[in-house]
Structure 1
Amino acid sequence: MHNHAQSLLVHFHRAEEIKAASLAYPSHTLRPDQLLILELLLNRALYPLTGYLGRADFESVLASMRLTDGRIMPWPISLDVPARLGNALAPGDCLALRDAEGFMLAVLTVSETWAAEPHVEAQALFGLADPATHPGASAYLATTQAVRVAGEVTGLALPPHADFVELRLDPTTLQALFAQRGWRSVLACPTAGIPLLAHQAAMQQAAAAVGARVLLAHPAGEAMTGGAAHFAGVRCAEHFAASFPKSSAQLALLPVPQPGAGPRQALFEAVIHANLGASHTLVAPDQHDPRDAAGQLLYPLGAAQALVAAHQNETGVVMVAAKPMVYVEEKAQFAPQDAVIPGETVRQLDAGELTRRLQFDLEVPAWYALPEIVAEMRTIFPPRAKQGFTLFMTGLSGAGKSTLAKILYVIFMERRSRPVTLLDGDIVRRHLSSELTFSKEHRNLNIARIGFVASEITKNGGIAICAPIAPYASARRVARGLVSPHGGFVEIHMATPLAVCEQRDRKGLYAKARAGLVKDVTGIDDPYEVPEQAELTLDTTALSPGEAAQEVLLYLEAQGYLG
């Protein structure tokens, strides 16, 4: 086991001196992912690092997963900042690192700065020619800022957490705990996602094979960022830990980012696990592989296991392969898939099937997951009939969006099954976006605002009925992305042709546009990008408003949203 120097945090007397001196320092507010990395740096889970990498080390890690001195470090621990701030920094300057509330956590003494190259970096880190195909790589490209800053870090305080404080155990605490219990061998088992009984069987089988106790390493960020899913995830991990035999497992929440970078991320976690005091690390054949849109693996099966095993002498943590486990009915227990005897009845469910059963309020077998975990999942993923949802109508002015929205509003209000909010285009423009113009940038911002409000309504179990023109596919995608994690998102394309909309022209908008009196009118001098994957397409040329409303209700009933 590693026995490292204490954390990078200074004594509180010294912290007060630094705070007094810091009034003149420029500041950088850390993103959620940057807060995770800073916490790992400050508590020494990233030993031997004592700050953010310089350019030579950064590029060496990208190319070879090693520092320039040859030591293993799979992830380039670096700080990216906006151009205006980064370009104003010089070697020797001090930069205050703050959380979202403005609380100063650390001071970075700048050693060098250079321009970030997000695309080149993402290709190397995720091992993909086109990073846009990978959700973690896409997020990396979207969030990485213009300038990288290197230098030593002086810590004043760890990022504060108000939730599950007793589970946020740093390396020093964990090593003391293992020593106190006499745990000589410890198998670190990552527990991202929903922990199932097959996972427990794999962990116990692996721990028994190497004579180790189990450290359940649960990745957990900041409560406000993760929302309800964060709390449910930790509670599931607590139920899971409690189901292990007494004194054989320890749960710890770790601030480890989850970019889904496959083998490289598995090796990065192995380095962290060694610094936590683990002797072994459990690696699945498809560890940290988020799969593509079609459900295909992005990394070769078993590559993560091979990479961690190849470097175990350097990391100091032994790779243990997680064996896929299946439930054998005749034995009423799990067994390794490769140990099943011909003729035995094997039961398996994938994560997609679990999601389906939760959505439609169907039974989840007792052998598949702990009842406490299923109950927790049912609160966070209620059946569709109890979920909030958003109806997002898009189409030209005069296509019938507002008329349909009002009819649906009345129908849902009469049913009284959920609270209902109408976010019609004109209403939103008046109350939420009065200062915005009709430029593309402002139109996108308007739709993002609608998406945010709709996501809050959906999250709280309500129905949001949105009826903006929403001419651009990119803005509609943003709205879907905001709402979908919290409930249903039903895009309704009001596909009424321009000629019919012009005939109706209730607001006189098209007549003014044709006469050149107004600019940027969708369908005339501004494009409308037709939705390619709308859940419903309605043309009100031949449909009455009442008939259109029935089409929406039939769809919602078929999808299980209306009980």
Structure 2
Amino acid sequence: MPGLETPDGPKLVDLLVGEKRAQELKSASAMYKSWDLTPRQICDLELLLNGAFSPLRGFMNKADYESVCQVMRLADGTLWPMPITLDVDENFAKSIDIGEKVALRDQEGVVLAVLTVDDIWKPDKSREAEQVFGKDDTFHPAVAYLHNTAGDYYIGGKLEGLQLPVHYDFNDLRYTPQQLRDHFKKMRWTKVVAFQTRNPTHRNHVEAMLRAAKKAEAAILIHPVVGMTKPGDVDYYTRVRVYKAVINRFPTSTAMISLLPLAMRMGGPREAVWHAIIRKNYGATHFIVGRDHAGPGKDSRGNYFYDPLAAMALAKKYADEIGIEIMEAGYLVYVKELDKYVESTEVPAGMDVMNISGTELRARLADGRELPEWFTYPEVAAELRRTYKPRDKQGFTVFFTGLSGSGKSTIANALMAKMMERGDRTVTLLDGDIVRKHLSSELGFSKEDRDLNVLRIGYVAAEISKHGGVAICTPIAPYDDTRKKVRNMVLEQRGAFVLVHVATPLDICEARDRKGLYAAARAGRIKEFTGISDPYEEPADADITLDTTEQTAEELANQLMLHLHEKEGLLA
């Protein structure tokens, strides 16, 4: 039951200006330089503007950034564990001056805020990774983002907010911190325990929340992250439908859902402290921290990035300073004989403990197997089934790579004909030459242009796969890193990805040279030609390797069909 008394919480920093000032800035913004915000920056901006990141008044300047990286405090000594920076490319950084105003726009060009530049600097990203995330290892998603996605320069400064980012989904669940605190007052909830989640909720999660609420005599705030989470996580649309289904499992008027548009960093212990500060700003009095809270998994050596109990320890260390009570989620397991969940340390001797790991859950969803009721609720299983089709019903991409003349297009055409003969999928062939003609006609053959061409093919293939179709792609795709990016693009859209290396030797490809391309490359008339004057990086991660030297295209297409059926499970 909700408790009786608690302080109102910290004063929220309101960065949204009044209507008159907003109109002035909007009129003047046409004269300002503009920066188009990335998805992560939009998440950060929204939480800066609505007060969730109080006491921050804008993107950090260099002094705050360095202090936060080193000692988890702003330059004035205020506790804050995570750098909130506006990263930009070198060209933009060098085009602006200290004191200049910059219009920050969403991806549709709408001005959301104006930043007055205080600082411009080039950070040491390796040092940032070591200080904030514990090691400079790109197996950590935030470190990979830092090195591979974020701009090379940071700009800091105070913000004047014109409007919050626009959302078109679940607007009845999108409370600002002030709105949520007002709602708690209306409900007379003076103790609220917040539950952080980026995953669907199953029976053990509901049990953990109920136990925490009972112990604290508090109401429950299910506060899921719907900004950016770990790559590969369940999409938030599915998760929110799950939360809405589960809320009925709680006693009436003791629990609610509010969505948090946070871009997680998966920063483990530091992130747990960060999450606690954010929940305090939203009006929570208690915060549940679980084992390996916001942990990113294993590093490049196969070891976990963080000790599973480190997040709890650090959050408790700073709980009094934050002004929030940290509650341990515990490790609950299902005991068959008792037909209930209990703490793992309280299992009676000789009784069977049952559990389903995340890996097993994904396998069950892929295979179309049952999700038992002791593990999850029927309504949760139904929502997950709406999103995660059995593997033989999923869309997928067959991505060929190989030298010019290796036989990629011939095998791909044979494969397409066999898939069309089956008639159970829509099939689209994205031939490298045809895509260059219609989609990438302005591109040359530099590495940058080749990568962009392949990424365009990957984007289209991911969309086709997302909607249950089959995309067959036949670019040369000579670079390993680009092929991996395409694989991730498809997997992130819940499609399957099969990399086919057509490993026909160079001398055979050159002997087949029907277009005279190899001869022209040998004569120096074609620059940067793959296999002659430009490298081809053979894939070490190919799902199947084919060679057209001794087998026909039809034989290889049949071999590939068998692979899709027997090995990949993509064909019934």
TM-score normalised to structure 2 length: 0.93
Asked if residue 533 in structure 1 is aligned to residue 541 in structure 2, the reply is yes
Mapping of 1:477-496 within 5 angstroms?
Answer: 477-486=484-493, 487-496=495-504
Task: Give the alignment partner of residue 173 of structure 1, picking from 171, 179, 184.
Answer: 179
TM superposition shift of 1:151: 2.3
Distance 2:13 2:97 in 1: 29
TM superposition shift of 1:323: 0.5
**What is residue 310 of structure 1 aligned with on the other side?**
317
**Which deviations, in whole Å up to 9, do the C-alpha atoms of 1:327-369 show, x marking residues without a partner?**
1111211111111101112110001111111111111111212
Larger deviation, residues 321-330 vs 51-60: 51-60
Distance 1:228 1:274 in 2: 26
Asked if residue 519 in structure 1 is aligned to residue 527 in structure 2, the reply is yes
Q: Given the superposition, is the C-alpha separation of residues 303 and 34 from structure 1 closer, same or farther in structure 2, using an over 3 Å criterion?
A: same
Q: Is the 8 A contact 1:106 1:155 kept in 2?
A: yes
Q: Given the superposition, is the C-alpha separation of residues 551 and 156 from structure 1 closer, same or farther in structure 2, using an over 3 Å criterion?
A: same
Which amino acid is 1:116 matched to? P
**Which deviations, in whole Å up to 9, do the C-alpha atoms of 1:102-135 show, x marking residues without a partner?**
211222222332223333222222111x231212
TM superposition shift of 1:263: 0.7
Larger deviation, residues 446-455 vs 77-86: 77-86
Larger deviation, residues 63-72 vs 139-148: 139-148
Distance 1:71 1:468 in 2: 53
Mapping of 1:458-497 within 5 angstroms?
Answer: 458-486=465-493, 487-497=495-505
Larger deviation, residues 352-361 vs 442-451: 442-451
Distance 2:105 2:430 in 1: 36
**Which deviations, in whole Å up to 9, do the C-alpha atoms of 1:466-513 show, x marking residues without a partner?**
112212112211211211222111001111112222333333333333
TM superposition shift of 1:257: 1.3
Distance 2:183 2:407 in 1: 65
Distance 2:188 2:285 in 1: 13
Question: Over the residues paired in the alignment, what is the CA RMSD in angstroms?
Answer: 2.1
Which amino acid is 1:285 matched to? R
Asked if residue 203 in structure 1 is aligned to residue 209 in structure 2, the reply is yes
Distance 2:559 2:94 in 1: 56
Q: Given the superposition, is the C-alpha separation of residues 518 and 115 from structure 1 closer, same or farther in structure 2, using an over 3 Å criterion?
A: closer
Asked if residue 297 in structure 1 is aligned to residue 317 in structure 2, the reply is no
Asked if residue 10 in structure 1 is aligned to residue 17 in structure 2, the reply is yes
SS of alignment partner, residue 254 of structure 1: coil
Which amino acid is 2:327 matched to? V
TM superposition shift of 1:88: 3.7
TM superposition shift of 1:255: 1.6
Larger deviation, residues 99-108 vs 415-424: 99-108
**What is residue 275 of structure 1 aligned with on the other side?**
281
Larger deviation, residues 33-42 vs 263-272: 33-42
Task: Give the alignment partner of residue 367 of structure 2, picking from 360, 363, 370.
Answer: 360
Which amino acid is 2:460 matched to? V
Q: Which runs of 5+ in 1 are unaligned?
A: none
Asked if residue 561 in structure 1 is aligned to residue 570 in structure 2, the reply is yes
Percent of matched pairs sharing the same residue: 44
**Which deviations, in whole Å up to 9, do the C-alpha atoms of 1:235-284 show, x marking residues without a partner?**
12222223222222111101211121111111101100111111111111
Mapping of 1:66-77 within 5 angstroms?
Answer: 66-77=73-84
TM superposition shift of 1:222: 8.7
**What is residue 405 of structure 1 aligned with on the other side?**
412
TM superposition shift of 1:520: 2.9
Q: Is the 8 A contact 2:402 2:502 kept in 1?
A: yes
**Which deviations, in whole Å up to 9, do the C-alpha atoms of 1:68-124 show, x marking residues without a partner?**
222211112222233333334334322222211121122222233222333322222
Distance 2:53 2:547 in 1: 58
Distance 2:499 2:232 in 1: 25
SS of alignment partner, residue 200 of structure 2: coil
Distance 2:106 2:511 in 1: 55
SS of alignment partner, residue 104 of structure 2: strand
**What is residue 448 of structure 2 aligned with on the other side?**
441
Q: Is the 8 A contact 2:137 2:299 kept in 1?
A: no
Q: Given the superposition, is the C-alpha separation of residues 95 and 466 from structure 1 closer, same or farther in structure 2, using an over 3 Å criterion?
A: same
Q: Is the 8 A contact 1:229 1:380 kept in 2?
A: no
Distance 1:275 1:419 in 2: 49
TM-score normalised to structure 1 length: 0.95
Task: Give the alignment partner of residue 348 of structure 1, picking from 339, 349, 355.
Answer: 355
**What is residue 121 of structure 1 aligned with on the other side?**
128
Work out the number of aligned pairs and report it: 561
Distance 2:12 2:419 in 1: 62
Which amino acid is 1:546 matched to? E
TM superposition shift of 1:41: 1.4
Q: Is the 8 A contact 1:191 1:237 kept in 2?
A: no
Q: Is the 8 A contact 1:386 1:561 kept in 2?
A: yes
Q: Given the superposition, is the C-alpha separation of residues 460 and 434 from structure 1 closer, same or farther in structure 2, using an over 3 Å criterion?
A: same
Task: Give the alignment partner of residue 498 of structure 1, picking from 499, 503, 506.
Answer: 506
Task: Give the alignment partner of residue 394 of structure 1, picking from 370, 392, 401.
Answer: 401
Task: Give the alignment partner of residue 231 of structure 1, picking from 226, 233, 237.
Answer: 237
Distance 2:238 2:288 in 1: 24
Q: Given the superposition, is the C-alpha separation of residues 538 and 85 from structure 1 closer, same or farther in structure 2, using an over 3 Å criterion?
A: closer
TM superposition shift of 1:6: 6.5
Asked if residue 450 in structure 1 is aligned to residue 457 in structure 2, the reply is yes
Asked if residue 379 in structure 1 is aligned to residue 377 in structure 2, the reply is no
Distance 1:231 1:161 in 2: 13
Larger deviation, residues 512-521 vs 322-331: 512-521
Task: Give the alignment partner of residue 48 of structure 2, picking from 41, 44, 47.
Answer: 41
Distance 1:441 1:399 in 2: 23
Q: Is the 8 A contact 2:43 2:227 kept in 1?
A: yes
TM superposition shift of 1:183: 1.7
TM superposition shift of 1:19: 2.0
Asked if residue 550 in structure 1 is aligned to residue 558 in structure 2, the reply is yes
Larger deviation, residues 472-481 vs 147-156: 147-156
Which amino acid is 2:509 matched to? C
Distance 2:327 2:234 in 1: 33
Q: Given the superposition, is the C-alpha separation of residues 182 and 442 from structure 1 closer, same or farther in structure 2, using an over 3 Å criterion?
A: same
Mapping of 1:322-337 within 5 angstroms?
Answer: 322-337=329-344
**What is residue 30 of structure 2 aligned with on the other side?**
23
**What is residue 243 of structure 1 aligned with on the other side?**
249
Larger deviation, residues 57-66 vs 226-235: 226-235
Distance 2:33 2:433 in 1: 43
Distance 2:166 2:44 in 1: 14
TM superposition shift of 1:137: 1.3
TM superposition shift of 1:517: 4.1
Distance 1:518 1:150 in 2: 46
Q: Given the superposition, is the C-alpha separation of residues 22 and 470 from structure 1 closer, same or farther in structure 2, using an over 3 Å criterion?
A: closer
Distance 2:327 2:120 in 1: 39
SS of alignment partner, residue 15 of structure 2: coil
Asked if residue 152 in structure 1 is aligned to residue 161 in structure 2, the reply is no
Distance 1:227 1:124 in 2: 26
TM superposition shift of 1:179: 1.9
**What is residue 421 of structure 2 aligned with on the other side?**
414
TM superposition shift of 1:169: 0.7
The ranges of structure 1 where at least 4 consecutive aligned residues each deviate by more than 6 angstroms after the TM superposition are 225-228
**What is residue 4 of structure 2 aligned with on the other side?**
none
Distance 1:399 1:79 in 2: 45
Q: Given the superposition, is the C-alpha separation of residues 150 and 445 from structure 1 closer, same or farther in structure 2, using an over 3 Å criterion?
A: closer
Task: Give the alignment partner of residue 265 of structure 2, picking from 244, 259, 266.
Answer: 259
